[in-house]
Amino acid sequence: MVAPLKVGIAGLGTVGAEVLRLIESRGRVLTARSGRPVRVVAVTARSKAKKRDVDLDGIAWARDPQALAENPDVDCLVELMGGAGDPALSAIEAALKSGKSVVTANKALIAKHGVRLAQAAEKHGGAFNYEAAVGAAIPIVKTLREGLAATGIDRVYGILNGTCNYILTRMEREGLSFAECLKDAQRLGYAEADPSFDVDGHDTAQKLAILASLAFGTKVAQSAVHVEGISSIAPEDLRAAADLGYRVKLLGVAVKTAKGIEQRVHPTMVPKSSSIAQVMDVTNAVTIDGEGIPPITLVGPGAGGAATASAVVADIADIARGVRVHPFGRPVDRLAQIEKAPMERHEGGYYIRLMARDLPGTAATIATRLAEQKISIESIVQRHANGGEPARAGKTPVPVLLITYATHEDAVYRALQAVQRDKVITGRPQVIRIEKN
C-alpha cells in the first residue's frame, strides 16, 4: 500500500479546524482521487487549552510552528496562521528547506515574500501551493497557472473583496450611505472592527499583485499597485451609474499596456450587461481576457471557513498525487521585474460628478476647461439637488454628471484643477473610472 501523505497544520482557527474536518470526513474520496491516503499527524496553534469543535485524538501537538515545520514525521506543512512575517514566514522557509511541501492561504505573505518562497521550493524540491490565498474556493490560481498555460493574457480583473461588494450592493439596493452599510457589515461579521484594510482596497491589492504575477510572468509587486477604496462613494453616484447603464464595483485590474503592466484597485463603473456587474453581496468574481478566447469569468465565495478549506484541501490533494508546478507558472529566474505603468497615463472613460455653482457661465467654464485638455464628453446630466425644482440662482450648488470618452487620467485631473481654480464648483469632484467589457 502507498504510504500516506502526512500533514501538519499550523493554525486551528475557523479555516484550520475546517481543513481538519474535511480531511477526516472526505478521507476515502481523497485517497481515491489522490492515489494515497492523506492524514493529519500533527498540529499547532497559539493556545492548546482552547476548546475546539474538532477531534484531535491521535494527533501530535507541536510546541510551535517552527517545531512543526521541522518535524520529520510531517511531509506537508499547512500554514493557516496568517501575517506577512513570522512565525508564518520562518515556519514555511524551514519546511521548504527540509524538502517538505507547503500549502498556505496567506495572501499577505505571498504578496510580500512569494518569490523568495517559490525560489526555496524550486531549490529543495517541495511544492508551494496557495490556491486559497486569492478568491478562496474560486480556482483562479490553477486556471491562470495551468489551465491557461498556453494562452497569452491581456487583462485580469475582478471583485476580490466580499466586504466591499456587500457594502456597494446594499448602498445600491437601499439607497443607504457608506457609513450605514459599513456599520451593518460589521454587525453581521462581514467587516472587521477596523475595516480599513478591506474598504481602503489593500486586501484587494495583495490579491491583485498575485494574479498579475501569474497572468504576466512578473515578480509579485504589491508596491506597484495603485490603490483607492470605496469610502468616497455616495448613493447619488450609484443612482447616476444605474441611470447611465452602469454599476459601481471595487475592482482589482491588471492589464498589459504598451507602457508596462498597469495594476490598479479602485471603484469602477462597469456596464450592467457585463458578467462582473451581476455579482452581488459577498460573492467574488474574476474575469480573464485572453488571446483568441472569449472572456472567462469565475464566480464563487471568496472567503469563509468552508470555501477556504476546500481550496486548501485541493492543494493538499495535488501534493498527494505528486503534482509539482512552478508556484508562479514558470521558474523564478524567468519572472520579469514589473514595469509599473504610471496611472497618470491610464487611458479610459471617466464618470465625473461636480457640485456646480448655479450661476451664469458655469457650464461654459467647465466645458472650456475640459476642451483645453482635449476631453470629449459622451453625456452630461444636470440634476437639481432638491428633488427636481430649480434652485434659487446662485444659492444651491447643482449636481452635474459627466461621462467622458476615452482620455488620459492626467488630462482629467488637470481639467478639474483648473475648474476648481475658477471657483465655479464647490467641494471635491468625484471621479470614477469606467471599465468597458
Question: So what's the pLDDT on residue 177?
Answer: 95
Q: Which is the CATH superfamily of the domain at 5-137+307-334?
A: NAD(P)-binding Rossmann-like Domain (3.40.50.720)
Q: Domain residue spans in the chain?
A: 5-137+307-334, 143-300, 346-434
Q: How confident is the model at residue 437 (pLDDT cuts 50, 70, 90)?
A: low
192-251 confidence digits (pLDDT tens):
889 999 999 999 999 999 999 999 999 999 999 999 999 999 999 999 999 989 999 999
Asked if pLDDT for residue 150 goes beyond 60, the answer is yes
One-letter identity of residue 46: R
Question: So what's the pLDDT on residue 388?
Answer: 47
Q: What is the CATH number of domain 143-300?
A: 3.30.360.10
Question: So what's the pLDDT on residue 382?
Answer: 78
> Which residues are marked as active site?
207
Residue 253, C-alpha cell as written in the block: 485590474
Question: So what's the pLDDT on residue 391?
Answer: 46
Q: What SS3 state is found at 250?
A: strand
Query: What topology is assigned to 346-434 in CATH?
Result: Alpha-Beta Plaits (3.30.70)
Q: How confident is the model at residue 385 (pLDDT cuts 50, 70, 90)?
A: low
31-47 confidence digits (pLDDT tens):
999 999 999 999 999 98
109-146 confidence digits (pLDDT tens):
999 999 999 999 999 999 999 999 999 989 999 999 99
Show the CA angle centred on residue 47, arms to residues 46 and 52, nearest 5°. 115
Torsion angle in degrees (nearest 10) through CA of 104, 109, 110, 112: -170
Name the phi and psi angles at 294, rounded to 5: -65, 160
What b/e string do you get for 316-339 counting C-beta neighbours within 10 Å, with b at 16 or more?
Answer: bbbbbeeebebbbbbebeebeebe
Per-residue pLDDT, averaged over 365-373, amounts to: 94
Question: So what's the pLDDT on residue 141?
Answer: 97
Model-level pTM?
0.93
Per-residue pLDDT, averaged over 157-184, amounts to: 95
